[in-house]
Amino acid sequence: MKIIGLIGGMSWQSSKLYYEYLNQIVAQRLGGVHSARILMSSVDFSEIEKWSFEDNWEKIGRVMADEAKRLEAAGADILILGTNTIHLVADTIEAAVSIPFLHIARATGGAITELKLKKVGLLGTRFTMEKDFYTRILQEEFGLEVIIPNQRERSYLQDVIYNQLVKGVFTEEAKEKCVKIIENMQQEGIEGVILGCTELPILIPETAVTLPTFDTTMIHSKAAVDFALT
């Protein structure tokens, strides 16, 4: 079994799910008391949040590259980054190491195309929805049409993610508002919705909406285990 290197802490709420999912999937596939071989380096999210709001992605890239090199030196065979938004600096991470880096958008794009969907909604931070580092992969590599919420809804999502979800606050009110955003996008013809912030699947269970949801944390974890067990 190969060793999965996980850069975590963005936030620790979703990082604990990565650890849980990776181990659950390995146990399901191998049986018995098997568990995943994981190395995790967890950052202080307060610093990452500050630099992202300052639009200092160069600094974030340097920090992520250092964490990636630390995991490679410790013996990781593959790297995953436990957040959607910080994949904005994925190129910097890939350039810093010689081991494979598994991009969350590519894993998600693969899961969507397995269901033969063509038009999907994307929920996440403002950075994930408005910058093209995520949607470009989905559009160019998987031929998907990606719909994002309107400006008011994007502002709401940004606020609820940073002021509630990353702090472990998951309310019924926030769930209902996010479900309403999804319903609004359904009127634009989306066939499924990407929960493109690793905390969003905690807030919005599959049963809360009537169309397929794509839990990027679980999808990413499954793809990492696929690699680890080959």
Q: Contacts from 156-164 at CB under 8 Å and sequence distance 24+? A: 156/181, 157/123, 157/124, 157/125, 157/126, 157/129, 157/181, 157/197, 158/125, 158/126, 161/124, 161/125, 161/197, 161/199, 161/200, 162/49, 162/125
User: Is 178 one of the catalytic residues?
Assistant: no
The residues facing 192 across adjacent strands are 120
Is residue 83 part of the annotated active site? The answer reads: yes
- The neighbouring-strand residues paired with 40 are 6
* Alpha carbon distance 96, 107 (integer Å): 21
Which one of the listed residues 125, 135, 197, 198 is annotated catalytic? 197
**Which one from 83, 85, 108, 198 is the annotated catalytic residue?**
83
Structure-block tokens of residue 226: 């696929």
Active-site residues, by number, are 83, 197
